[in-house]
């Protein structure tokens, strides 16, 4: 089936891994999309190239230091160029059929909230805002009528087989985890792992932060909280299983014993294509799954003794939104320090554990509370690392 009408689309974080995969799909289906807005953090050169190629109406570079260089590259075009956090919020008010939330980290929270107000649908890859402020995001979507399209591969898989009319008959959501590059390593080797080893994911090609999160299984911890918000499922109905081949992207178990799953090669273009075309389907330029080439589909439990992250996600969910925010903020700071070789891999867990013990307040009443607690935890995590 083809997509009938041209969709207007804005991509927040177009220069990243998800952003580039999204534009790849659009390049293969130019007749069905019209790009309005593209944004980046620092990479002004790629942003300018993308803007020209996809005839964007407006671009924003979040880091204002690159504003002049970006303006210079686009001076012979009619593309509107702006810079800074406020500009990101401004372009999110341009009405579009679909906004793709592909910024990494909590930095995407306010653009996501603004996009929810002005877009018909938001393809949400940027999971950290949902972890930190899921109640706020889901309430904003309910208020504006914006459809949230889960883009993370596991949640996209669930979305594809989740029968809303039978939600009461769902007994469990089962998220699959590849186990990351350290799945079978000893604890001693994991503790001493380098950033170069951590970002080498066995199956997926992703940005640096999520790659480290996959190695620590923090990515799966964030995804448990993400699933709780996206599907309004209590924590005790969300399970995780390690599936090293990353072919089955997640399961939904119904009370009659049926277990529905979505399969595909580990390529983000498949779930992104689902979101781009939703509620229809479109051609994807990604590799196809050849079931005859599959030698095995293996499953194993998570090694909670070595990877404590997932256990912490359940504890945080039991405590409330403040604890989930704390888990995320502490992890963002720790991963940043690890990637700069400032701390060891095992220290990521120490930072998160210390912050959860210190700052895990329960309820948060609004955006100001969320921003204030995020700032407080980040500062405390930096102090902890420096000491
Ligand atoms: P990348 O690091 O590859 O890209 C991040 C994007 O955000 C880039 O465009 C970057 O710009 C921009 N950016 C970074 N910091 C800021 C900031 N402070 N303000 C505004 N823009 C900023 O990340 P990924 O594409 O890997 O991931 C994006 C999100 O999607 C994450 O939340 C991740 O967890 C989620 N996700 C990613 C998957 C993947 O396969 N990559 C799979 C599932 C979910 P610049 O290029 O200039 O730095």
Which residues line the pocket of ligand 1, CB cutoff 6 A? 13-19, 40-43, 62, 102-104, 107, 125-128, 152, 204, 206-207, 209-210, 268
CA of 204, closest atom in ligand 1: 40
258's CB contacts (< 8 A; 6+ apart) are: none
pTM over 0.95: yes
Mutate to test the pocket of ligand 1, among 11, 18, 131, 158 (most ligand atoms within 8 A of CB): 18
Q: For residue 159, what is the enclosing H or E element?
A: helix 153-161
- From first to last of its 387 residues, the chain has per-residue pLDDT tens of 445 589 999 999 999 999 999 999 999 999 999 999 999 999 999 999 999 999 999 999 999 999 999 999 999 999 999 999 999 999 999 999 999 999 999 999 999 999 999 999 999 999 999 999 999 999 999 999 999 999 999 999 999 999 999 999 999 999 999 999 999 999 999 999 999 999 998 888 899 999 999 999 999 999 999 999 999 999 999 999 999 999 999 999 999 999 999 999 999 999 999 999 999 999 999 889 999 999 899 999 999 999 999 999 999 999 999 999 999 999 999 999 999 999 999 999 999 999 999 986 767 889 999 999 999 999 999 999 999
What pLDDT was estimated at residue 270?
Answer: 97
* pLDDT computed for residue 1 by the predictor: 40
Report the separation in Å between the CA atom of 205 and the middle of ligand 1, taken as the mean of its atom positions. Answer: 12
Compute, in angstroms, the gap from residue 258 CA to the centroid of ligand 1.
36
Q: What is the pLDDT of residue 4?
A: 59
Closest CA to ligand 1's atom 2: 207
Helix (H, G, I), strand (E, B) or coil at 81: strand
Strand order in the sheet with 248-254: 238-242, 170-177, 248-254, 259-263
Pairing assessment for the beta strands 248-254 and 259-263 based on DSSP bridges: antiparallel
248, β-bridge pairs: 263
Q: Which of 45, 104, 115, 216 to mutate to test the pocket of ligand 1 (most atoms within 8 A of CB)?
A: 104
Cα–Cα distance list, 139 to 91, 136, 230 (Å) = 22, 5, 11
Q: How many angstroms from the chain centroid is the CA of residue 156?
A: 11
In angstroms, the Cα distances linking 232 to 1, 225, 345, 372 are 31, 10, 33, 26
Beta strands in 41-177 (DSSP E): 58-61, 80-83, 96-101, 119-124, 147-150, 170-177
Ligand 1 nearest-atom number relative to CA 44: 47
What's residue 3's pLDDT?
Answer: 52
Report whether 91 contacts 47 (CB < 8 A). no
Closest by CA position to 74, among listed 109, 99, 38 = 38
Name the percent of the chain in helix, strand, coil, to the closest 5. 50, 15, 30
Q: How far is the CA of 259 from the centre of ligand 1 (A)?
A: 32
How far apart are the CA of 13 and the centre of ligand 1, in A?
6
In whole angstroms, what is the distance from residue 134 CA to residue 127 CA?
9
Q: Separation of 2 CA from ligand 1 center, angstroms?
A: 29
For residue 146, give the DSSP letter.
P
Q: Determine the distance from the C-alpha atom of residue 26 to the mean position of all C-alpha atoms in its chain, rounded to a whole number.
A: 20
pLDDT of residue 2: 47
Count, residues in the chain: 387
CA distance 219 to 105: 12
Query: How far apart are alpha carbons 25 and 22 in whole angstroms?
Result: 5
Instruction: Identify the CA nearest to 307 among candidates 264, 251, 349, 354.
Output: 349
- Among protein residues, the one whose CA lies closest to atom 40 of ligand 1: 206
């Amino acid at each position: 089936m083809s997509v009938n009408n041209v969709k207007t689309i804005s991509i927040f974080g177009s220069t990243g891994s998800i952003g580039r995969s999204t534009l790849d799909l659009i390049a293969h289906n130019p007749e069905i999309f019209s790009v309005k807005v593209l944004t980046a953090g620092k990479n002004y050169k790629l942003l300018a190239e993308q803007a020209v190629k996809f005839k964007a109406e407006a671009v924003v570079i979040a880091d204002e230091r690159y504003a002049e260089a970006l303006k210079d590259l686009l001076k012979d075009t009619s593309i509107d160029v702006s810079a800074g956090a406020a500009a990101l919020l401004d372009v999110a008010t341009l009405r579009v059929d679909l906004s793709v939330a592909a910024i990494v980290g909590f930095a995407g929270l306010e653009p996501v909230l603004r996009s929810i107000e002005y877009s018909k649908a938001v393809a949400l890859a940027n999971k950290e805002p949902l972890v930190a402020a899921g109640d706020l995001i889901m309430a904003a979507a309910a208020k504006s009528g914006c459809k949230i399209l889960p883009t993370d591969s596991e949640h996209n898989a669930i979305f594809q087989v989740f029968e809303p009319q039978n939600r009461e008959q769902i007994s469990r959501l089962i998220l699959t985890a590849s186990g990351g590059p350290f799945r079978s390593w000893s604890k001693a080797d994991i503790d001493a792992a380098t950033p170069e080893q951590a970002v080498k994911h066995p199956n997926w090609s992703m940005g640096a932060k999520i790659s480290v999160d996959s190695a620590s299984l923090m990515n799966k911890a964030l995804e448990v909280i993400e699933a709780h918000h996206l599907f309004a499922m209590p924590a005790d109905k969300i399970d995780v299983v390690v599936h090293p081949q990353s072919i089955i992207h997640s399961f939904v178990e119904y009370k009659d014993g049926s277990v529905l799953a979505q399969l595909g090669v580990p390529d983000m273009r498949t779930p992104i294509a689902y979101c781009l075309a939703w509620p229809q389907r479109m051609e994807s330029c990604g590799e196809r799954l050849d079931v005859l080439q599959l030698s095995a589909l293996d499953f194993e439990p998570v090694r909670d003794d070595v990877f404590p992250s997932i256990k912490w996600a359940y504890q945080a969910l039991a405590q409330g939104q403040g604890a989930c925010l704390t888990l995320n903020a502490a992890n963002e700071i720790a991963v940043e320090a690890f990637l700069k070789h400032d701390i060891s891999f095992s220290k990521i867990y120490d930072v998160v554990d210390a912050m959860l013990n210190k700052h895990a307040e329960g309820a948060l009443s609004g955006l100001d509370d969320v921003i204030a607690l995020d700032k407080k935890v980040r500062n405390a995590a930096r102090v902890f690392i420096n000491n």
